[in-house]
Copies of this chain bind each other. A is one copy, B any other.
Amino acid sequence: MLAIAQFGAGRIGAIHAGNVAANARARLAHIVDVNREAAEALARRVGATVATAEAALADPAVGAVIIASSTDTHADLIIRAAGAGKAIFCEKPIDLALARVDAALAAVQTAGVPLMVGFNRRFDPDFSLLHAAIAAGRIGRVEQVVITSRDPGPPPLDYIRVSGGQLRDMTIHDFDMARWLLGEEPVEVFAYGAALVDAAIGAAGDTDSLMLLLKTASGRMAHINNCRRASYGYDQRIEVFGSEGRLIAGNRLESTVELADARGQTAARPMHFFLERYAEAYRIELDAFIDAVTEARPVPVDGSDGRQALLLADCAARALAEGRPVRIPPR
């Protein structure tokens, strides 16, 4: 049974800890968090002990770590965990600075440990079915990808200020999906963005509304649209158009109940919150990490995937700032 030390006892940490607890092949040994109270509450809930980072990493029984602490601690923890020879699961993004991502990846490579990056959407049952249908040739050759990703409401301004910006914080998921579904690396990106939802977000130097285009060497194209606010809930749809068909993964609705009355036929809203919408994805994701480590197989999403999505975000940010398409440097 894989013993795991987890860094971070916040919202996403609680999700991962619960999923470890439900996995028969793993157990949580230690919880590390600067917020002692949160660490204790979570540790109690999943039968772990509260520990310092040093103690957790020094524990020879620990085979893997989950890094779910604040983004600015990720790279450092990866380097230390790699140094301790632990398998690593790290929440996205690895870091907001490409140089620090590269330093972390170098440490991982030197140590020869597995590093999995938390792009949970790849594990969403609908999106993975869609990906499998492409792989099975159901739509022929992929030509166009359209990704719609809108949050129900913007995070607090305090969060936005340290988030790395909408492209690195929110669109990064969509960059990963676009790469995964295009089946070919994007070579160029273009972006329009504005603060249409909240002028204060604009004043903070960020956007809340985005439209992007990506293209690959063979001419495949992707469009991503984002908004920090959707009045009707969490809007997460993907369309992939190919030479022989089109796949669409729609929103999961809150219920199947429809009301017909004089105003029309009203169906439920999309599930409102990402933790609910992607609950299964988070569970399957962590199971996949535990399986890969336990069976010494490659992790399904690795450090280079984390780096590439950040690189796309960086290039898109430059495209947005400079008003021109930006080439993506080859890997």
Which positions in A face B, CB cutoff 8 Å? Answer: 125-126, 129-130, 133, 138-141, 143-144, 146, 148, 150, 190, 192, 194-197, 209, 211-213, 215, 218-223, 225, 227, 229-233, 235, 241, 243-253, 255-270, 323-325
Residues of B within 8 A of A221 (CB): 192, 194, 209, 211, 225
Cβ contact within 8 Å between B267 and A264: yes
A139-B259, A150-B241, A213-B213 given; name 16 further pairs at CB < 8 Å: A129-B255, A133-B259, A143-B227, A144-B211, A144-B227, A146-B148, A190-B213, A192-B215, A194-B220, A213-B223, A221-B225, A232-B264, A245-B261, A246-B260, A262-B269, A265-B267
Residues of B within 8 A of A267 (CB): 264-267
* Nearest chain B CB to A225 CB, angstrom units: 6
Residues of B within 8 A of A256 (CB): 126, 249-252
* Nearest chain B CB to A20 CB, angstrom units: 16
User: Could you show 14 A-B contacts with beta carbons less than 8 Å apart?
Assistant: A190-B190, A192-B213, A197-B243, A213-B213, A221-B225, A225-B241, A231-B260, A235-B246, A245-B262, A248-B258, A250-B256, A266-B267, A267-B267, A323-B325
Residues of B within 8 A of A227 (CB): 143-144, 241
Residues of B within 8 A of A269 (CB): 260, 262-265
In chain B, what residue has the closest Cβ to A323? Answer: B325
Cβ contact within 8 Å between A245 and B260: yes
* Nearest chain B CB to A37 CB, angstrom units: 20
Residues of B within 8 A of A229 (CB): 243
* Nearest chain B CB to A260 CB, angstrom units: 4
Residues of B within 8 A of A125 (CB): 255
Cβ contact within 8 Å between A196 and B213: no
Cβ contact within 8 Å between A262 and B232: yes
Cβ contact within 8 Å between B209 and A143: yes
Cβ contact within 8 Å between A219 and B196: yes
